Structure 1
Amino acid sequence: MINILIVDDNPNNVIMLESALERDDIREYSTTSPKEALQMCTDHSIDIALIDVNMPELSGYDLLQAIKQDPLTSGIMVVLITGYSMSTPDVVKGLSLGAVDYLFKPLDLHVTIAKVDSIIKLILQRREISNKNQQLVEYQKQLLEAVSMAEQSRLAKENFFANMSHELRTPLNAILGLINIFETSKLDNEQMKILSMLSYSSKLLLGLVNDILDISKIDAGKVKITKTETDLTKLLNDICDLTRPLAESKGLVLTCSVNSDIPEVIMADTLRLNQILINLITNAIKFTSRGSIKLVVSISEIQDSQVLLSFSVSDTGIGIPNELLGQIFDRYEKLDNTIEDSFGSTGLGLSIVKKLTDLKGGKLNVESIVGEGTTFTFTNWYKIRHVNKAADEITKETSTVQPFRNIALLLADDDQINRFVISQMLSNWNIQVDEAENGLDAFNKVKFKKYDIILMDIHMPVMNGIETTRMIRNESSELNKSIPIVAFSASIMEKDREEGRAVGIDAYIQKPIEPADLYAQISSLLVLDRLGERNKFVDKSS
């Protein structure tokens, strides 16, 4: 509905305009008093005002100016009505004050109705735009709320995975540490075999935990490809040695074939390549009841200093129907519940393989025949690294683990078994170890003894690793403020790293702790500390 106000001191003109404009989509208001007209504009939400210019008490110009100056009525479309004798300056004055048009007496009702209809169309368009803008504002509000909810969900998911990681990796760290201790003991062949199976099962469980966490990292875009010098033959042999016990436990034969012309060293992300191949091999083992699994690595193409390598994993398993091949990389996709339940599957392995392959810029193909087997082929370009063999031998010789001398270390961890495992590991390197069961205990020990290095768990009761480090850096004596601090945890979130950098943590190591990584970290920090160059944050947790 359009509200129209007619203002003219001549009642006959008012009646004539009311009659001409009377229709269902218009609500008419009229007055012969310009002073009354201004109040009517506010009271009745007027859209269009037809105002005579020459009126007693208040001219049409004055009324127009008053309407435009009031925020409540400034949007009214005003049409001035005047006689033919009106001069150009007067017309310009009205338009300058905000009038949209003029009607000239004697009024031509056809022209009057046409002009009013034209203005009504503009008003309706303006209303539509206003409604759209209001809808847009509402959509923006809903979008912001959705983004906020998504961010809250992401943070909740991240915290959930972090907590789950901590709860699962903490006992796994203890188990793997105890296995490492037993491996250095004198055991007979049967005991070594049992220990090997225990070690493999633990690492398999750790792999499952990592799969779950990797999916979260990949989804969050936090997985980065880091290329380093990689001894491909050694990597493949290690992968096959790791997965062979599982194949043999099912009576399967696992063979690994590497063409002789494969470069000795390539630039690759060893961790991600390892994940891809182990997932493909373990997946093949899961769905194969008899026969064999084959890993074949060959060169598909060479260009300058780059090589296109093909990694093929074939099995003699149950196979996959052609119509289902497109679904196998979907997370949690169940091709057949009975088959999945019989063979056991989380639905994560192939999804991770596909995501990591895409992340590395490679290609992943699958071919399968039901009842005969499946072949997954992963291809990717790698830069060839030419190695100085003499220098490489020197590096191997110097990388031998040597006992430390006169090193006092403080180990802070709330888990008693983890303290035992890590203490045994450190004692084997001739390191004197003091233990603290929480952050406050660690801080109190630092006040009374000078340590060469501190190993500190991030998540501890009473006082966590971040707060403990802050207190050591700020409240200890000058002698102890600069102690190298290595933080470790079963779950290290990005906020932990940022807070660690802020308070002065020198390095991070993620549980389960690899002895070689821990030894290298301690050795590196001690050397840098003595040289006065310990100024870079080191991260061994990713």
Structure 2
Amino acid sequence: MKPKILIVDDLVENLISLEAVLEDFDSDIFRAYSGEEALKLSLKEEFALVILDVQMPGMNGYETLEMMRQRKKTRYLPVIFVSAIHQSDLHIIKGIETGAVDFIPKPIIPDILKGKVQVFLDLYLQRAKLDYLLGEMEKANLNLKIAKDKAEEATRTKSMFLANMSHEIRTPLNGVLGVSKLLQKTDLNDDQKELLNIVTNSGENLMLIINDILDFSKIESGQIQLEMIDFNLKELVENVFQLMKFKAIEKGIQFKYAIGDDVPERLCGDPLRINQILMNLVNNAIKFTHQGKVEICIELVDWHESMARILFRVIDTGIGISEEGKLLLFKEFSQSETSITRKYGGTGLGLAISQNLVCLMNGEINVNSELGQGAEFWFRLPLKKAACPGLELERQDVQHQADFRILLAEDNAINQRVCELSLKQLGYKCDIANNGQEAVDMHQQLPYDLILMDMQMPVLNGIQATKAIRKMEREALVKHPVYITAVTANSLVEEKKDCMLAGMNNFLSKPFSEKELLLVLQEVSRTKTTKNQTEHECL
């Protein structure tokens, strides 16, 4: 669009003269024969510049400009005064004070006027370009905001979908694994044991796949939160060894671990995630090794102030990896060779998840291998020195007490029976509430020491029931609130956070192990012992 220039003069010959000077500019020229007409045109059109005569009948140039400056649209419109009569310094100063950008006496020297007009036209075009760019930027920002909102909504929808799918899959799987583990403790013949082992292994493999998918989704959406707690490194490695040694025994391969003498026993970091990485690497090593051995080696790289760099190596004598295969190793949903998926199965997520977790912990991970010559997967992690390196966690057996009362709030009949039998094998009984409201009412009638609270229940869900119980306890000034543990098929970070904010004490993901249940019972037992000691001291 061409810039527009308004020329204002009561004499036609002066307007024609100005038009002749301005004809070289690529602009549209508008005429006004009075101040009133100039004001009307300035409100109607968008001008780049006004050339305004001072001496006019009716409203003179000064009065016209004063009116322009009072209006929002023309407040900053550049105006050049021209005059044949008013040429003294006093008149020029008055023109500038009124708001003019310049004052040119008549007769006008064309080159001077052209030079000044060129400056203001250039400024106008630059401002128009800037306004256009700002408009485009606003559009881009709006589009980005729309895209961001869509992405966040997609992430929320995805999280909800994964949470629901996790719950729906884990709930029946909890029943399958719970019953199979209970049956393993009964008298069975060899054929029955073999069939039961197939069921258990299949269920555990399915659980690994579910966990991989959920972990990958959490990493992808930035929901992984690392812990910084003290842990015993030897116990962590021993735990991995004990969990995986049976798979090695089944395949007839050697499996061992070695920890360097200079490796600190207690460190500070995220033991759960380190355990997960080791489990992934060891599981792969055993899977792809048909003869020979698998070994875990832990070494100290160096100390830097209070930080130790620890090298974890998992070495196997398995099928090895080609150079081409190494390029695909840490990519999600892929495996090193196209035939691997068909022969060995798996989601192809384990190594991708491990790499992401190592990176989150500011570490490094890689592999040394040749096809047919085995593999050595390694990762290095910077871990802080434990606050109390000589302190070991006490291991306490659960104190079986006759008055230890447990309430299971669970609406699924299969899960009710599995949990009830699991507690029975540990020497405990439990009452059952079929929904959250029943749990609240039963606890109000006769308080419990422990409530195992399912999250998704009719009438009141686990969060609502917990809030109701905590409210009752506050109103009744209860000194020792009931220990509430969430028992849920969801394992997302948000749900754990919601549980703790609602007033729960612990969190169990279905299917939970006997060890995890024992840890909860130990904690409740310690709490109850402390409560009894306090009451005894008060007496």
User: Which of 511, 516, 519 is equivalent to 1:517?
Assistant: 519
User: What letter corresponds to residue 253 of structure 2 in structure 1?
Assistant: V
Counterpart of 1:258 in structure 2 is 258
Task: Give the root-mean-square deviation of aligned CA atoms.
Answer: 3.1
Give, in whole Å, the separation in 1 of the partners of 2:248 and 2:172: 26
1:177 aligns with 2:178: yes
Give, in whole Å, the separation in 2 of the partners of 1:333 and 1:215: 13
Q: Cα deviation per residue 1:469-503 (whole Å; 9 max; x = unaligned)?
A: 23334468838894433222111445544544454
For the residue of structure 2 that corresponds to 1:42, the secondary structure is: helix
Counterpart of 1:16 in structure 2 is 17
Does structure 2 conserve the Cα–Cα contact (< 8 Å) formed by 1:404 and 1:429? no
Offset at 1:351? 0.7
Q: Cα deviation per residue 1:21-40 (whole Å; 9 max; x = unaligned)?
A: 12472111112222112112
Give, in whole Å, the separation in 1 of the partners of 2:141 and 2:190: 69
Q: Cα deviation per residue 1:413-465 (whole Å; 9 max; x = unaligned)?
A: 11112211222233345444211121233234334433333221111123211
Counterpart of 1:296 in structure 2 is 297
Offset at 1:128? 0.8
Does structure 2 conserve the Cα–Cα contact (< 8 Å) formed by 1:243 and 1:281? yes
1:350 aligns with 2:386: no
Give, in whole Å, the separation in 2 of the partners of 1:209 and 1:58: 83
For the residue of structure 2 that corresponds to 1:71, the secondary structure is: coil
Give, in whole Å, the separation in 1 of the partners of 2:113 and 2:146: 49
Counterpart of 1:507 in structure 2 is 506
User: What letter corresponds to residue 156 of structure 1 in structure 2?
Assistant: T
Does structure 2 conserve the Cα–Cα contact (< 8 Å) formed by 1:52 and 1:82? yes
Counterpart of 2:418 in structure 1 is 421
Q: Cα deviation per residue 1:493-541 (whole Å; 9 max; x = unaligned)?
A: 45544544454333333222222232134324434655789xxxxxxxx
1:388-467 alignment, distance < 5 Å: 395-396=394-395, 399-467=396-464
Give, in whole Å, the separation in 2 of the partners of 1:307 and 1:420: 47
Mean CA deviation greater in 478-487 or 95-104 = 478-487
For the residue of structure 2 that corresponds to 1:402, the secondary structure is: coil
Does structure 1 conserve the Cα–Cα contact (< 8 Å) formed by 2:488 and 2:508? yes
1:76-155 alignment, distance < 5 Å: 76-83=77-84, 86-155=87-156
Give, in whole Å, the separation in 1 of the partners of 2:79 and 2:478: 82
Counterpart of 1:478 in structure 2 is 476
User: Normalising by structure 2, what TM-score?
Assistant: 0.87
Mean CA deviation greater in 179-188 or 362-371 = 179-188
Aligned pair in 2 of structure 1 residues 430, 28: CA closer, same or farther (>3 Å)? same
For the residue of structure 2 that corresponds to 1:9, the secondary structure is: coil
Does structure 2 conserve the Cα–Cα contact (< 8 Å) formed by 1:236 and 1:256? no
Counterpart of 1:539 in structure 2 is none
Report sequence identity in percent: 31
Mean CA deviation greater in 293-302 or 47-56 = 293-302
Give, in whole Å, the separation in 2 of the partners of 1:113 and 1:305: 74
Aligned pair in 2 of structure 1 residues 498, 235: CA closer, same or farther (>3 Å)? closer
User: What letter corresponds to residue 478 of structure 1 in structure 2?
Assistant: A
Give, in whole Å, the separation in 1 of the partners of 2:531 and 2:170: 30
Give, in whole Å, the separation in 2 of the partners of 1:200 and 1:263: 34
Give, in whole Å, the separation in 2 of the partners of 1:500 and 1:294: 40
Does structure 1 conserve the Cα–Cα contact (< 8 Å) formed by 2:399 and 2:525? no
Give, in whole Å, the separation in 1 of the partners of 2:42 and 2:307: 80
For the residue of structure 2 that corresponds to 1:517, the secondary structure is: helix
Offset at 1:50? 0.6
Give, in whole Å, the separation in 1 of the partners of 2:167 and 2:259: 41
Mean CA deviation greater in 377-386 or 93-102 = 377-386
Does structure 1 conserve the Cα–Cα contact (< 8 Å) formed by 2:318 and 2:374? yes
Offset at 1:158? 1.4
Give, in whole Å, the separation in 2 of the partners of 1:52 and 1:401: 101
Does structure 2 conserve the Cα–Cα contact (< 8 Å) formed by 1:266 and 1:382? no
Counterpart of 2:230 in structure 1 is 228
Give, in whole Å, the separation in 2 of the partners of 1:497 and 1:294: 35
Give, in whole Å, the separation in 2 of the partners of 1:28 and 1:308: 77
Mean CA deviation greater in 193-202 or 161-170 = 193-202
Aligned pair in 2 of structure 1 residues 5, 263: CA closer, same or farther (>3 Å)? closer
For the residue of structure 2 that corresponds to 1:486, the secondary structure is: strand
Give, in whole Å, the separation in 1 of the partners of 2:35 and 2:305: 90
Structure 2 unaligned residues grouped into runs of 5+: none
Does structure 2 conserve the Cα–Cα contact (< 8 Å) formed by 1:247 and 1:253? yes
Does structure 1 conserve the Cα–Cα contact (< 8 Å) formed by 2:254 and 2:292? no
Give, in whole Å, the separation in 2 of the partners of 1:75 and 1:494: 56
Offset at 1:7? 0.7
Give, in whole Å, the separation in 2 of the partners of 1:480 and 1:189: 53
Does structure 2 conserve the Cα–Cα contact (< 8 Å) formed by 1:291 and 1:316? yes
Aligned pair in 2 of structure 1 residues 166, 356: CA closer, same or farther (>3 Å)? same
Mean CA deviation greater in 515-524 or 54-63 = 515-524
Give, in whole Å, the separation in 1 of the partners of 2:188 and 2:385: 42
Aligned pair in 2 of structure 1 residues 318, 453: CA closer, same or farther (>3 Å)? closer
Q: Cα deviation per residue 1:117-150 (whole Å; 9 max; x = unaligned)?
A: 1110010001011111111111211121122112
Mean CA deviation greater in 119-128 or 356-365 = 356-365
Aligned pair in 2 of structure 1 residues 87, 278: CA closer, same or farther (>3 Å)? same
Aligned pair in 2 of structure 1 residues 530, 80: CA closer, same or farther (>3 Å)? farther
Give, in whole Å, the separation in 1 of the partners of 2:57 and 2:416: 99
Aligned pair in 2 of structure 1 residues 254, 90: CA closer, same or farther (>3 Å)? farther
User: What letter corresponds to residue 224 of structure 1 in structure 2?
Assistant: L
For the residue of structure 1 that corresponds to 2:369, the secondary structure is: strand
User: What letter corresponds to residue 401 of structure 2 in structure 1?
Assistant: F
User: What letter corresponds to residue 526 of structure 1 in structure 2?
Assistant: K
Does structure 2 conserve the Cα–Cα contact (< 8 Å) formed by 1:225 and 1:269? yes
Give, in whole Å, the separation in 1 of the partners of 2:264 and 2:31: 96
User: What letter corresponds to residue 486 of structure 1 in structure 2?
Assistant: T
User: What letter corresponds to residue 463 of structure 1 in structure 2?
Assistant: L
Give the count of matched residue pairs. 526
Mean CA deviation greater in 300-309 or 201-210 = 300-309
Q: Cα deviation per residue 1:336-388 (whole Å; 9 max; x = unaligned)?
A: 43333232231211111111212223321211212323221222344566866
Aligned pair in 2 of structure 1 residues 262, 414: CA closer, same or farther (>3 Å)? farther
1:278-293 alignment, distance < 5 Å: 278-293=279-294
Give, in whole Å, the separation in 1 of the partners of 2:290 and 2:500: 50
Give, in whole Å, the separation in 2 of the partners of 1:384 and 1:472: 41
Aligned pair in 2 of structure 1 residues 23, 271: CA closer, same or farther (>3 Å)? same
